[in-house]
Structure 1
Amino acid sequence: MTQPSLFIAHGSPTLAIEHNAYTGFLKELGQQIMSVPPRAALIFSAHWDSPVQYVSNDTLHETMHDYYGFPEEMYHIRYPVKGDPELSEWISSIFKSGNLPYQMSSGRGLDHGAWVVLRALFPSGGIPAVALSVDSKRSPAEQYAIGKMLTELRNRNVLIIGSGGLVHNLRLMENRDDPNPWATEFDDWIGEQLTSWNLRTLFDYEKKAPHVKEAVPSYATEHFAPLLYAMGASDNDRHASRLFQDYQYGSLSLNAWQFGS
């Protein structure tokens, strides 16, 4: 079975306790995926940003509560999902053959960028997970290339997920229901590059995308990076389709993209 790769926005950590159109969509998406269950989910999270390429190697992941100022129930949620050490070793062998320096990581647990998404898709925790770090300081082409190294895993029934956010500027969030035009214009521009698989222009998004300074501020590029890792993982099947699009707080985009048919 060949799995697609996905980019899934994780929004606010409170996604874990919300019931809205987006959480309903993620539940349905998870049910669709489980019609032919993947052997594991490999997830790149925006909240594991490091110049070192890390690969988790746990047999059981702890749940990190890496946020503050949220409702008390947020700190009592547990999502103790299994790891897949064999898959971690496959990944390490791929990185080794690709001359990508990496380190295995044990005991870190899953940050909320990882477990909130996985829990929304697979509430029972039945799909093992391997977490990978991102490096927001790498160029878009380098991020894409790392994802491309992992393409063969999709043919081994591994679901690859990038968890982040295309428009993610906490300083510009507003108490409004309708999205800010600048946010939708940025998302639409990115969508055009994805559906046409226009890598040349996409890799230069920091200069060419409209409203990029508002959408991807310099302090939050790690939320955009997972898109490129997930996209690269489907380089052999260059097909992109938007599965969902909505906004919270006027600009925080909740979007899901599937790469590969």
Structure 2
Amino acid sequence: MTLPALFIAHGSPMMALEDNEYTRFLARLGRELPKPRGIAVFSAHWDDPDQRLTDDAEHGTMHDFYGFPEEMYQITYPAKGSAELTNQIMQRFEAGNLHAKPVTGRGLDHGAWVILRQMYPDADIPVVALSIDSKRSPSEQYSIGAMLSDLREDGILIIGSGGLVHNLRMVHPSDEPDDWAVQFDEWIAEQLETWNLHQLFAYDKKAPHAREAVPSYGTEHLVPLFYAMGAADNGRKAERLFQSYQYGSLSLNCWSFQ
């Protein structure tokens, strides 16, 4: 059973409580995919210069956000970990000469549990969370994902959780997407559909409105895309499964890589 690698926009933490077109899509996606043996998720909210991954029997739920309704802080997602999957990932990192360190007691940040709770509400699939390093080059991030590509053939779902357009200083209450956000998303889509790594890796110089879409203080939300793409380097086929917007420019999209 070979699973795709996915890039999933996790939007606002409020997605944990919302019932909208996007949350219904994620629930449907979780039902339609073959049930994974395990999930490895690279989260934008775990940005570390060293490669980290969880090694817990059970995960706590991190409420790593502020100023939200009290109900948000009562939500838990009690997924189990997987020592087997952690070890398999470590073996591949070691083979790729990437120093990595398992950590315990961290829990799942909202970049991981918010989307997983929508897709797999029973929390019955083991999860290993992985850090990203936003200071690495896109090609390095892609190469790290590629180290895990063969795990997809063994029933492991690899997810990059972030946001292609994620500039919270430019959001506003609107149901209509801002033109600049759409133009950036469509440029990214064109490069993904042709697997144009040369252009993608230089998105900050090539893409329209790159500064607005990926501000210098927020690159960590885009880079999970490269980890997820790398995990499908052996197939190099991209398909956009969903696209919508919240707050004018907050891009909610899901890409599947085979």
TM-score normalized by the length of structure 2: 0.99
Please give the alpha-carbon distance, in whole angstroms, between the structure 2 residues aligned to 1:55 and 1:247. 31
User: Who is 1:10 aligned against?
Assistant: 10
Q: Secondary structure at the match of 2:251?
A: strand
User: Who is 1:129 aligned against?
Assistant: 127
> Following superposition, which runs of at least 4 residues in structure 1 exceed 6 angstroms of deviation?
none
Matched, 1:145 2:173: no
RMSD of equivalent CA atoms: 0.5
Q: Which of the numbers 190, 204, 209 marks the counterpart of 1:211?
A: 209
User: Who is 2:52 aligned against?
Assistant: 54
Q: Which of the numbers 246, 253, 256 marks the counterpart of 2:254?
A: 256
Aligned runs of 1:236-247 on 2, under 5 Å? Answer: 236-247=234-245
CA displacement at 1:97 relative to structure 2: 1.1
Measured against aligned partners, the alpha-carbon deviations of 1:169-197 in whole angstroms (never above 9, x if no partner) come to: 00000111100000000000000000000
Q: Secondary structure at the match of 2:45?
A: strand
Please give the alpha-carbon distance, in whole angstroms, between the structure 1 residues aligned to 2:162 and 2:93. 23
CA displacement at 1:231 relative to structure 2: 0.4
CA displacement at 1:78 relative to structure 2: 0.6
Measured against aligned partners, the alpha-carbon deviations of 1:8-37 in whole angstroms (never above 9, x if no partner) come to: 00000000000000000001000012xx31
Q: Secondary structure at the match of 1:38?
A: coil
Matched, 1:104 2:141: no
Please give the alpha-carbon distance, in whole angstroms, between the structure 1 residues aligned to 2:93 and 2:230. 14
CA displacement at 1:126 relative to structure 2: 1.1
Please give the alpha-carbon distance, in whole angstroms, between the structure 1 residues aligned to 2:23 and 2:53. 28
Measured against aligned partners, the alpha-carbon deviations of 1:117-166 in whole angstroms (never above 9, x if no partner) come to: 11110000111100000000000000000000000100111000000000
Q: Which runs of 5+ in 2 are unaligned?
A: none
Please give the alpha-carbon distance, in whole angstroms, between the structure 1 residues aligned to 2:95 and 2:234. 19
Aligned runs of 1:161-172 on 2, under 5 Å? Answer: 161-172=159-170
Code of the aligned partner of 1:77: I
Q: Which runs of 5+ in 1 are unaligned?
A: none
Matched, 1:225 2:223: yes
Code of the aligned partner of 1:26: L
TM-score normalized by the length of structure 1: 0.98
Measured against aligned partners, the alpha-carbon deviations of 1:79-125 in whole angstroms (never above 9, x if no partner) come to: 11001111100111111111001111110000000000111100001
Q: Which of the numbers 37, 40, 51 marks the counterpart of 2:38?
A: 40
Please give the alpha-carbon distance, in whole angstroms, between the structure 2 residues aligned to 1:238 and 1:108. 33
Q: Secondary structure at the match of 1:142?
A: helix
Paired residues, number = 258
Q: Secondary structure at the match of 2:189?
A: helix
Matched, 1:20 2:30: no
Code of the aligned partner of 2:137: S
Please give the alpha-carbon distance, in whole angstroms, between the structure 1 residues aligned to 2:242 and 2:95. 36
